[in-house]
Structure 1
Amino acid sequence: MVKGISRRVVVVESPDQRYFEQAIFIVRNEAVGEGVTARELVEEAKRVARDYAGGDHGRFSRAWRDLSPAVYTLIGAGGIGLAWLVAALV
């Protein structure tokens, strides 16, 4: 179905096009009337895309994300073993 509505969009190209070519943001009509410049819209779209993709969450979360599933398994097994030990001593 095609509607007769005109919309403004911001298209952000992906720096790594291995999975995605571009992100398309539909601009709210109120944003145009508030005196927001085109440059501000593009910068905000880039920021949102970068944040949504998990680009800058700090070193700690990146370290957890990069761990091998085997490490998660060992951490879980160690936690369960510790819980059993504490339960057995109580």
Structure 2
Amino acid sequence: MAAVVKGVSRQVIVVKSPDPRLFEQAIFIVKEDAFGQGVSAEQVLQEARRVADGYLRRNVRLGRPRPRVPAPAWVAAGALLATIGWSVGLLL
């Protein structure tokens, strides 16, 4: 898929990924009037880093993956609990 960029030139910020296993970098295209609003280049860079880090925290599970219990195990556990419930009910 080709990317189309309007205008003659754009300012971009490239942020290195905090987790290089997943992404190499994030690219942000800065609005033309961003620096005209009293925002410094350092503030824009900090915001780009914050957004990239926030995205990873919300959307990527880092660390040790939790073991998944297969569906047949849940069915067997439910059947066992139902059997125990019926047995206790019959004894009372």
TM-score class, shorter: 0.5 to 0.7
**SS of the residue 2:33 aligns to:** helix
In structure 1, how many angstroms separate the alpha carbons of the residues matched to 2:32 and 2:5? 19
Alignment RMSD, CA only? 3.6
Rg larger in structure:
2
- Alignment equivalent of 1:47, drawn from 32, 46, 50: 50
2:74 maps to a residue whose letter is A
Find the aligned partners of 2:67 and 2:42 in 1 and give their Cα distance: 41
- Structure 2 gap ranges (5+): none
Structure 2 counterpart SS, 1:5: coil
**Which one of the candidate residues 52, 77, 81 is aligned to 2:78?**
81
Runs of 4+ in 1 over 3 A off after TM superposition: 1-4
> TM-score, normalized by length of structure 2?
0.59
- How many residues align? The count is 77
Q: Take 2:62 and 2:21, find their aligned partners in 1: how far apart are those partners?
A: 20
Q: Which has the higher helix share?
A: 1
